[in-house]
């Protein structure tokens, strides 16, 4: 052996010896510390026992004896093992029994009690937990990936197996009490109702449902119990936090000043005792003369003001003026920019996400069981509303292609357009494009969004032109053309038929009023009535494109006041005197809201507190979104108040309610509204935001009222059911459970503009109440557990903001 090898061997020997000696002393030191810790616990126990004997507390002595006996068992080889990554949950069996005492300073792990015979398996595999057992069989239900025959850790499991008491610390103490039913009452729990929780990385929820025996499914869903989290802060808010909360209180009170409130809620005007299928309207477009009201109105500085009669001087429904609105807007923007407020709100929002994740860890399996026990209902046959879809793109590209080919084959000689001083037939239009029906395909139609449309709203709008030709758009996708929109009317009725065939899908189609001339309302109403466009599955929203700058450059308008006159004066005319615009009157029965549309990503200047009036706005620049929003809000506020007043007047003079004559309110529902967030992830993915960066799952975790919508099926979707396609992709990408999908579907009905009678039939006759009281699982397939949690968290946040003095009766439910 050479000298180098010898030196290397000696170095290795010395190093190994040093490591061995170090390990010995570290092990000895650790054992000494454990022994000292055990002695300290024993001394504490003896002190407590001595004090208990002196005080005559027999129960405490008995508990300490039991604890001492269990410790001796543990030292003799009996040891328990659980997951240290999951929280413990307090649950007691129906047979009674006491929970283990927790020694001071020793954190409790996820452990199991002894059974009646005292024989539990000596060890439990990591990641393996209790499964629900069937009432007809003592054998626990097996997982889809584990076999009962191969499992030896459940053989001695008894019915009184329980989980130990624990205290979770999340922003304070989390006390988990006994089982709690939907009514908030404490209930005993048996093994069959104990959950099994586990985590899966990459999953939005981290929880997968467990299959159960068929006879468990017969349990009534209302009797499902769940683990309630009671989270209360340990300490009082700091002075800085108190200041933030008081500022948020001011913002909520300011919101209440602007929210439109009906004097009598719809559920109070029309009490639904039997929410069976409402009878459809046999003649939805029949008009009965109703007479004129004495009210007088006139436009003043962009806002319509109403008087009792022409000679009256007092305004009936004063609304906040523009200066007040923009002053309040600046205050809100100042609050949003404050650093301390941003920090506190961010922490509360993150806490909401974590609370929801913790709720799923504890209750996801129970939600799944509740859904299984609800007869007939599943995701496919719960009502869902497409809350944001543009009418001119409501069909898919294959549907449009088939319709065009059908018209070329059946009506080639129909005169459809006037171009360059010549009337052209449909066949001549396609000959001028050097196309035949055989040449057409989806790729040639070229209406689907692609990579070229990302961050290019102008290119996206060009996709509305079939084959890149604006004349084809005018023929097939416009209602104000030479054929008076007959082709678009027929195409719309086919889409209606698809919705009726699906039965459980509804839509709120958005159709445009541009504000270029007052006759637009009558023209649109005439198209709706003449083409008999009515369906129980459809309501309409009016969208106002923000195109003032274009109209100004074209010389169509002279000021912004012209647009407001063209949009709102016809609405007030038909409200005061329905006979003045009979077709518009019957059309407005189906209109539920008004929207503002534009490319919201464009930068714009923030309005000042003292803005020019609409009559003074004569420059070529487009007003800001908030400028449009105020004048739409103010005029709709007054219009809806007039509707309610006229309803009251007719109710006094007629046996009929005004609603029976068709007077409905029109809600202001802009793209950035708070009533409900109608989100279109697939559309955003093609235009502005990558699908994985979409905030919908984050909003949903935090408890916001979000719904899924399609926006533009013609440009975005590929299937015959675009709304189901939207849900399907969201569920796949974000790992949404069936309960999540059904909750989002329920949100879509709740935030939609369908009538109170239809909502009562679709999601329950008390849908307007918060929490589980407003839920009917037999109609929504949403477990009471989920809505109980949402309501509890909302109340906790309100109590936090109002420093424990929240009056929930004062909050306005949107």
* Low-confidence residues in the chain, pLDDT < 50: 61, 64, 66-202, 207, 209-218, 222, 648, 650-662, 814
* pLDDT score for 18: 80
Contact 748, 707 (CB under 8 A): yes
CB proximity list for 670: less than 8 A, separation 6 or greater: 595, 596, 629, 632
pLDDT at 284: 84
Q: What pLDDT, on the 0 to 100 scale, is given for residue 779?
A: 93
Strand, helix or coil for residue 285: coil
pLDDT reported for residue 215: 47
Coil, strand or helix: which one is 108?
coil
In which region does residue 354 sit, left (phi positive, over 0), alpha (psi from -120 to 50) or beta (all else)? alpha
Residue 271's H or E segment, with its range, is none
Burial of residue 610 (CB within 10 Å: 0-12, 13-18, 19+) is exposed
How far, in Å, CA of 403 to CA of 785, rounded? 47
Assess contact for 387 and 375: CB atoms under 8 A.
no
For the chain, the first-to-last Cα distance in angstroms comes to 89
pTM for this prediction: 0.72
Helix runs in 56-148, H state only: 58-75
Q: How high is the pLDDT of residue 446? A: 83
Query: Could you give the percent of the chain with pLDDT greater than 70?
Result: 73
Give 431-480 pLDDT, tens digit per residue.
998 888 888 999 888 888 888 888 787 788 788 888 888 899 999 999 98
The pLDDT score that the predictor gives to residue 505 is 95
- Reading phi first (left if > 0) and then psi (alpha if -120 to 50, else beta), residue 81 is in beta
Which pLDDT score is estimated for 1? 58
Give per-residue pLDDT as tens, 93-133. 334 434 344 444 444 444 444 444 344 343 333 333 344 44
Please enumerate, as own/partner, the contacts of 99-105 that have beta carbons within 8 Å and a separation of 24 or more: 99/162, 99/164, 99/165, 100/67, 100/70, 100/164, 100/165, 101/63, 101/64, 101/67, 102/165, 103/41, 103/44, 103/45, 103/67, 104/41, 104/44, 105/41
Sequence-distant (6+) residues with CB within 8 A of 302 are: 322, 560, 561, 564, 613, 614, 615, 631, 634
Q: Is 714 helix (H, G, I), strand (E, B) or coil?
A: helix
CA distance linking residue 375 with residue 219, whole number of Å: 10
Q: 488 phi and psi, to 5 degrees?
A: -65, -35
| Cα distance between residue 673 and residue 600, in whole Å | 13
Query: Would you state the pLDDT for residue 52?
Result: 56
Half-sphere exposure of 244 (CA within 13 A, CB side): 20
């Amino acid at each position: 052996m050479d000298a180098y090898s010898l030196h290397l061997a000696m170095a290795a020997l010395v190093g190994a010896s040093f490591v061995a000696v170090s390990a010995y002393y570290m092990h000895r030191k650790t054992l000494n510390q454990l022994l000292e810790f055990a002695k300290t616990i024993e001394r504490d126990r003896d002190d407590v026992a001595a004090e208990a004997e002196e005080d005559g507390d027999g129960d405490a002595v008995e508990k300490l004896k039991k604890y001492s006996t269990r410790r001796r068992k543990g030292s003799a080889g009996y040891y328990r093992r659980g997951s240290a990554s999951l929280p413990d949950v307090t649950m007691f069996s129906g047979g009674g029994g006491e929970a283990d005492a927790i020694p001071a300073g020793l954190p409790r792990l996820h452990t199991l009690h002894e059974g009646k015979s005292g024989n539990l398996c000596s060890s439990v595999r990591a990641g393996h937990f209790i499964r629900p057992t069937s009432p007809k069989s003592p054998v626990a239900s097996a997982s889809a990936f584990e076999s009962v025959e191969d499992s030896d850790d459940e053989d001695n499991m008894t019915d009184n197996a329980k989980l130990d008491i624990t205290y979770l610390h999340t922003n304070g103490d989390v006390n988990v009490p006994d089982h709690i039913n939907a009514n908030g009452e404490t209930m005993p729990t048996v093994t069959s109702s104990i959950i099994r929780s586990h985590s899966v990385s990459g999953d939005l929820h981290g929880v997968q449902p467990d299959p159960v025996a068929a006879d468990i499914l017969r349990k009534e869903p209302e009797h499902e119990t769940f683990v309630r989290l009671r989270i209360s802060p340990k300490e009082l808010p700091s002075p800085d936090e108190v200041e933030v909360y008081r500022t948020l209180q001011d913002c909520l009170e300011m919101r209440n000043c602007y929210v439109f409130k009906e004097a009598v809620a719809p559920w109070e005007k029309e009490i639904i005792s039997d929410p069976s299928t409402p009878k459809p309207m046999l003649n939805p477009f029949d008009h009965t003369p109703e007479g004129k009201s004495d009210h007088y109105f006139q436009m003043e500085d962009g806002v319509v003001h109403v008087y009792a009669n022409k000679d009256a001087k007092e305004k009936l429904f004063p609304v906040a003026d523009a200066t007040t609105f923009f002053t309040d807007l600046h205050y809100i923007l100042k609050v949003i920019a404050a650093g301390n407020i941003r920090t506190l709100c961010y922490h509360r929002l993150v806490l909401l996400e974590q609370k929801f994740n913790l709720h799923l860890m504890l209750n996801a399996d129970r939600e799944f069981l509740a859904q299984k026990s609800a007869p007939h209902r599943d995701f496919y046959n719960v009502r869902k509303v497409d809350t944001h879809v543009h009418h001119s793109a409501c069909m898919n590209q294959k549907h449009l292609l088939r319709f065009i080919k059908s018209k070329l084959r059946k009506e080639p000689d129909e005169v459809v357009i006037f171009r360059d001083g010549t009337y052209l037939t449909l066949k001549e239009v396609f000959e001028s494009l050097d196309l035949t029906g055989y040449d057409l395909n989806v790729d040639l139609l070229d209406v689907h969004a692609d990579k070229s449309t990302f961050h290019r709203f102008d290119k996206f709008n060009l996709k509305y032109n079939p084959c890149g030709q604006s004349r084809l758009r005018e023929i097939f996708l416009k209602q104000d053309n030479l054929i008076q929109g007959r082709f678009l009317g027929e195409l719309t009725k086919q889409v209606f038929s698809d919705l009726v065939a699906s039965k459980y899908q509804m839509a709120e189609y958005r159709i445009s009023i541009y504000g270029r001339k007052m006759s637009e309302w009558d023209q649109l109403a005439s198209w709706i009535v003449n083409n008999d466009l009515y369906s129980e599955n459809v309501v309409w929203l009016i969208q106002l494109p923000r195109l003032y700058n274009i109209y100004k450059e074209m010389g169509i308008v002279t000021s912004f006041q012209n647009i407001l006159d063209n949009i709102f004066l016809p609405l007030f005319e038909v409200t005061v005197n329905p006979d003045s615009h009979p077709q518009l009157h019957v059309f407005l029965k189906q209109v539920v809201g008004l929207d503002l549309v534009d490319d919201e990503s464009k930068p714009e200047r923030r309005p000042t507190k003292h803005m020019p009036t609409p009559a003074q706005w004569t420059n070529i620049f487009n007003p800001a979104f908030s400028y449009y929003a105020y004048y739409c809000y103010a005029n709709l506020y007054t219009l809806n108040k007039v509707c309610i007043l006229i309803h009251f007047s007719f109710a006094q003079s007629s046996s009929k309610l005004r609603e029976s004559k068709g007077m409905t309110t029109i809600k202001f529902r802009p793209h950035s509204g708070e009533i409900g967030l109608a989100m279109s992830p697939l559309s955003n993915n093609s235009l502005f935001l990558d699908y994985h960066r979409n905030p919908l799952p984050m909003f949903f975790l935090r408890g916001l009222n979000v719904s899924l919508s399609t926006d533009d099926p013609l440009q975005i979707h590929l299937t015959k059911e675009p709304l189901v396609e939207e849900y399907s992709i969201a569920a796949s990408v974000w790992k949404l459970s069936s309960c999540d999908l059904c909750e989002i579907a329920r949100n879509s009905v709740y935030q939609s503009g369908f009538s109170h009678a239809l909502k009562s039939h679709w999601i329950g006759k008390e849908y307007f109440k918060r929490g589980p009281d407003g839920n009917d699982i037999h109609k929504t397939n949403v477990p009471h557990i989920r809505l109980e949690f949402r309501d509890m968290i909302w109340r906790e946040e309100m109590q936090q903001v109002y420093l424990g003095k929240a009056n929930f009766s004062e909050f306005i439910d949107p």
